[in-house]
């Protein structure tokens, strides 16, 4: 195996794992190209770039790689150089007569180029005719933490928060820098440090000093900090009687606060806001709109270089089909938002389910830049226990066609601004990391952080390609192991869907934790928040009728997109029960009845976890023993819980359908 004998890898190094290349010839080839690193300029980010490159190459090549102000043949040159073709952050890594050069129009660009070069070496590729050129398609590539001041993480499954607020600003946990390295290596350039269900404390002077200390660590890595704000902050910490966005005193308060923040953090990124959703305060409390609120906040940023990301995840229980709520609140506001405002939209209309149709707001607000928000923490996808690689989920959304401006109007083109010609663009991932040594609890959760960053940079990358890259960098470069593992990654999301919510079922999980099955849930404090509401199983059939004879949520989509889902006999099976109430006995395109297809999927889905286990076992000789054992054990839990899902759902739905199990399937246990 490629691992160091007896060395238990605890996963802390993530994909920044610069173990020596096993292939001596490959090592020698690169050694000739990397006798040293020459860096012009002494700024923090350039020095950081040089140090990162040095650290990586020394590990991979197994010998010192000095950094100097200038260097001769075989030195890698790092240089900031104007290059109109590369935007602000694009890089070029090329082999020239005297050696490799890493250039880009900004220091951050050079840093990204260094990480690209390292990736190239680390994944075992050759320096021949090197020409790595890339620039990000999306400008603000954000990681959103749902972390609280007391160290808990909302929907976090990897320990507590990495931010130690009580110790800051004096104590700087070295982990902050490792966090910055990991993010910069995949191109993330902004982080929201706190939960969208925000505490007002972050806006106090006391916390701004702490935030400034974190910003100081992230800055050399090209990362800016942002804060989630509590709408009621002017009342809670400002002593004002109101938080009405049109009240002059409220405006003045935000303006003053913002100025204070910029005094402490000159490159502060801006604000993320969850308002009038799930009980959070907001401008609607004062009869104002989301646009009134967002615009006032944008105004408070004045001439500072900051933005407002205003979330469209608005949810009030009991107000019609939840699918339509965000659309109804936000679509009419298109064109009413100020320049610095972006509206942040979850990938799907309900809430980060294992599979959702794309959110109907994409394509429906052409005058507003929309941020795509995806969830890396696996709130509805098995926490840190189930192995689910999210590359396919994110790609599925990005590639979905909104038909807003005819065929090919993908969500990706809405988000990167190219479809509607926006000058700003952003994407956000809800972080899955915490204080666990391996950051993500499940070691494969690291792949989701990684894949998100890579896709945020370039949404045209393939999910499979990223899985391959991550596996080689993090787990093993041994070809048979890479194949076995990437097959698992690539199938894992579909497998999870099959044993939990096949055919377009959604939101049938346990009410409290959002874990495990609870399709029988018929009563809840939130009136619409019952599993029965979402699956609508009755004697006749199963599924949520969102056609014109039902809630008509389908009407929110452009005709081209609607067309795909409109007809229950042609609707792709993966989305069928999202949109249709289908008779148990209806024959599907697979030749099976709905009931037989449903149960078959639950059974084959659960069985597939055994296949995942066998694949993982095949890779064993190439893996670090501790990591192998950890994932193998998690896969055993996953199988046990896949059976739990299967049996709970099959038995519950059978109590309604009164159908026998199709021949060949063993009875639930």
Q: 648-654 long-range contacts, Cβ below 8 Å, gap at least 24?
A: 648/516, 648/517, 648/518, 648/519, 649/500, 649/508, 649/517, 649/519, 649/602, 650/599, 650/602, 650/603, 652/517, 652/519, 652/520, 652/537, 653/519, 653/537, 653/542, 653/595, 653/598
Angstrom distance (rounded) from CA 518 to CA 540 = 21
Identify which of residues 514 and 536 has a Cβ nearer to ligand GCU in the complex. Answer: 514
Do 367 and 339 touch, CB atoms closer than 8 A?
no
**φ/ψ (deg, to 5) at 614:** -65, -40
Task: Check residue 45 and report its DSSP letter.
Answer: H
Angstrom distance (rounded) from CA 426 to CA 267 = 17
The catalytically annotated residue of 23, 167, 278, 328 is 278
- With vertex at residue 443, the alpha carbon angle to CA 442 and CA 444, rounded to the nearest 5 degrees, is 90
Closest CA to 498 of 347, 640, 645: 645
Identify which of residues 152 and 655 has a Cβ nearer to ligand GCU in the complex. Answer: 152
Identify which of residues 197 and 586 has a Cβ nearer to ligand GCU in the complex. Answer: 197
Angstrom distance (rounded) from CA 214 to CA 265 = 10
Q: Residue by residue, what is the 3-state secondary structure of 172-186?
A: CCCHHHHHHHHHHHC
Q: Considering the rule CB under 6 A, would residue 351 count as an interface residue with ligand GCU?
A: yes
Angstrom distance (rounded) from CA 143 to CA 183 = 9
The catalytically annotated residue of 178, 260, 267, 351 is 351
CB of 343 to ligand GCU, least distance (A): 14
Our answer to whether residue 379 is catalytic in this structure is yes
Identify which of residues 157 and 176 has a Cβ nearer to ligand GCU in the complex. Answer: 157
Our answer to whether residue 278 is catalytic in this structure is yes
Closest CA to 188 of 157, 228, 232, 144: 144
Q: Considering the rule CB under 6 A, would residue 511 count as an interface residue with ligand GCU?
A: no
How many residues in the chain? 669
- Which one of 154, 260, 464, 630 is in contact with ligand GCU (CB under 6 A)? 154
- Which one of 313, 337, 389, 450 is in contact with ligand GCU (CB under 6 A)? 313
Residue environment code for 595-614, b if the CB has 16+ CB neighbours within 10 A, otherwise e? bbbbbbbbbbbbbbbeebbe
CB of 315 to ligand GCU, least distance (A): 7
Site string for ligand GCU, 91-130 (x = CB under 6 A): ----------------------------------------
CB of 273 to ligand GCU, least distance (A): 11
Identify which of residues 289 and 377 has a Cβ nearer to ligand GCU in the complex. Answer: 377
Residue 8, token pair as written in the block: 């238990």
Tell the residue number behind the tokens 């919510």, with chain if given.
501
Angstrom distance (rounded) from CA 626 to CA 51 = 30
CB of 186 to ligand GCU, least distance (A): 23
Q: Considering the rule CB under 6 A, would residue 155 count as an interface residue with ligand GCU?
A: yes
Kindly write down the DSSP assignment for every residue of 454-513, as one continuous string. HHHH-TTS-HHHHHHHHHHHHT---HHHHHHHHHHHHHHHHHHHHHHSGGG--S-B-TTT
Site string for ligand GCU, 10-29 (x = CB under 6 A): --------------------
Kindly write down the DSSP assignment for every residue of 371-382, as one continuous string. EEEEE-S-TTTT
The catalytically annotated residue of 244, 329, 373, 379 is 379
Dihedral, CA atoms, 287, 293, 295, 296, nearest 10 degrees? 100
CB of 466 to ligand GCU, least distance (A): 25
259 to 244, 247, 266, 270, 302: CA distances (angstroms): 20, 19, 10, 12, 9
Helix residue ranges per DSSP H, 163-311: 175-185, 205-218, 233-236, 248-264, 290-300
CB of 351 to ligand GCU, least distance (A): 5
Q: Considering the rule CB under 6 A, would residue 196 count as an interface residue with ligand GCU?
A: yes
Q: Considering the rule CB under 6 A, would residue 231 count as an interface residue with ligand GCU?
A: no
Angstrom distance (rounded) from CA 322 to CA 558 = 19
CB of 314 to ligand GCU, least distance (A): 9
Identify which of residues 210 and 274 has a Cβ nearer to ligand GCU in the complex. Answer: 274
Our answer to whether residue 244 is catalytic in this structure is no
**Contact positions with ligand GCU (CB under 6 A) in 266-285:** 274
Identify which of residues 194 and 545 has a Cβ nearer to ligand GCU in the complex. Answer: 194
List Cβ neighbours of 616 (8 Å cut-off, separation of 6 or more).
484, 485, 488, 628, 631, 632, 635
- Which one of 197, 299, 490, 618 is in contact with ligand GCU (CB under 6 A)? 197
Residue 23, token pair as written in the block: 């292939």
Count other C-beta atoms under 10 Å from residue 303's C-beta. Answer: 6
Identify which of residues 472 and 506 has a Cβ nearer to ligand GCU in the complex. Answer: 506
Do 370 and 414 touch, CB atoms closer than 8 A?
yes
Helix residue ranges per DSSP H, 501-593: 531-535, 559-566, 576-579
Identify which of residues 154 and 173 has a Cβ nearer to ligand GCU in the complex. Answer: 154
Closest CA to 87 of 457, 387, 437, 452: 457
Q: Which residues bind ligand GCU (CB under 6 A)?
A: 154-155, 196-197, 274, 313, 351, 379
Catalytic residue numbers, as ranges: 278, 351, 379
């Amino acid at each position: 195996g490629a691992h160091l004998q007896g060395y238990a890898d605890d996963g802390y190094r993530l994909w920044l794992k610069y173990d020596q290349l096993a292939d001596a010839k490959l090592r020698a080839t690169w050694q000739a190209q990397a006798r040293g690193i020459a860096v012009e300029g002494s700024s923090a980010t350039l020095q950081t770039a040089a140090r990162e490159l040095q650290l990586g190459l020394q590990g991979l090549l197994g010998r010192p790689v000095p950094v100097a102000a200038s260097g001769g043949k075989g030195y890698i040159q790092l240089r900031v150089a104007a290059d109109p073709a590369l935007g602000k952050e694009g890089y070029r890594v090329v082999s020239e007569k005297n050696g490799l050069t890493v250039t880009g129009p900004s220091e951050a660009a050079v840093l990204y180029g260094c990480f690209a070069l390292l990736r190239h070496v680390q994944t075992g590729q050759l320096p021949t005719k090197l020409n790595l050129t890339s620039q990000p398609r999306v400008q603000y590539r954000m990681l959103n933490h749902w972390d609280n001041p007391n160290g808990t993480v909302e929907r976090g499954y990897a320990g507590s928060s990495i931010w130690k607020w009580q110790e800051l600003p004096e104590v700087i946990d070295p982990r902050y820098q490792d966090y910055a390295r990991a993010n910069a290596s995949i191109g993330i350039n902004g982080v929201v440090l706190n939960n969208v269900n925000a505490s007002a404390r972050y806006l106090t002077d006391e916390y701004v000093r702490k935030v400034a200390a974190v910003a100081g660590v992230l800055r050399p890595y090209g990362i800016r900090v942002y804060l989630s704000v509590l709408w009621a902050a002017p009342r809670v910490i400002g002593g004002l009687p109101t938080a009405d966005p049109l009240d002059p005193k409220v405006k003045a308060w935000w303006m003053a606060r913002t100025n204070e923040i910029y005094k402490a953090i000159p490159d502060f990124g801006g604000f993320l806001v969850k308002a009038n959703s799930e009980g959070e305060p907001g401008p609607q409390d004062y009869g104002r709109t989301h646009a009134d609120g967002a615009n006032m906040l944008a105004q408070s940023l004045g001439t500072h270089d900051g933005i407002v990301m205003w979330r469209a995840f608005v949810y009030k229980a009991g107000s019609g089909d939840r699918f339509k709520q965000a659309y109804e609140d936000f679509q009419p506001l298109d064109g009413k938002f100020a320049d610095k405002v972006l509206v942040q939209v979850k990938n799907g209309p309900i809430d980060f389910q294992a599979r959702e149709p794309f959110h109907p707001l994409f394509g429906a607000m052409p005058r507003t830049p929309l941020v795509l928000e995806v969830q890396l923490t696996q709130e509805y996808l098995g926490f840190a226990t189930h192995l689910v690689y999210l590359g396919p989920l994110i790609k599925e959304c990005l590639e979905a066609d909104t038909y807003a401006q005819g065929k090919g109007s993908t969500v990706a083109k809405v988000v990167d601004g190219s479809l509607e010609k926006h000058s700003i663009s952003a994407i956000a991932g809800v972080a899955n990391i915490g204080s666990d040594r391996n950051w993500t609890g499940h070691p494969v959760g690291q792949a989701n952080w990684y894949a998100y960053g890579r896709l945020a940079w370039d949404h045209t990358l393939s999910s499979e390609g990223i899985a391959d890259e991550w596996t080689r960098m993090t787990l093993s470069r041994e070809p048979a192991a890479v194949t076995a593992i990437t097959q698992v990654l690539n199938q894992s999301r579909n497998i999870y869907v099959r044993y939990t919510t096949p055919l377009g079922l959604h939101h049938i999980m346990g009410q409290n934790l959002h874990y495990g099955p609870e399709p029988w849930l018929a009563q809840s404090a939130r009136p619409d928040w019952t599993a029965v509401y979402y699956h609508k199983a009755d004697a006749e059939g199963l599924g949520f009728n969102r056609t014109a004879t039902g809630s008509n949520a389908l009407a929110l989509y452009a005709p081209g997109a609607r067309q795909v889902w409109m007809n229950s006999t042609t609707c792709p099976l993966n989305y069928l029960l999202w949109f249709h109430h289908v008779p148990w006995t209806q024959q599907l395109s697979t030749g099976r009845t709905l009931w037989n297809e449903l149960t078959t999927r639950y059974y084959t889905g659960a069985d597939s976890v055994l296949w995942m286990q066998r694949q993982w076992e095949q890779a064993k000789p190439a893996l670090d023993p501790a990591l192998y054992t950890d994932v193998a054990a998690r896969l055993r839990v996953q199988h046990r819980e896949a059976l739990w899902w299967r049996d709970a759902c099959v038995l519950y739905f059978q109590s309604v359908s009164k159908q026998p199990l199709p021949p060949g399937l063993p009875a639930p246990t």
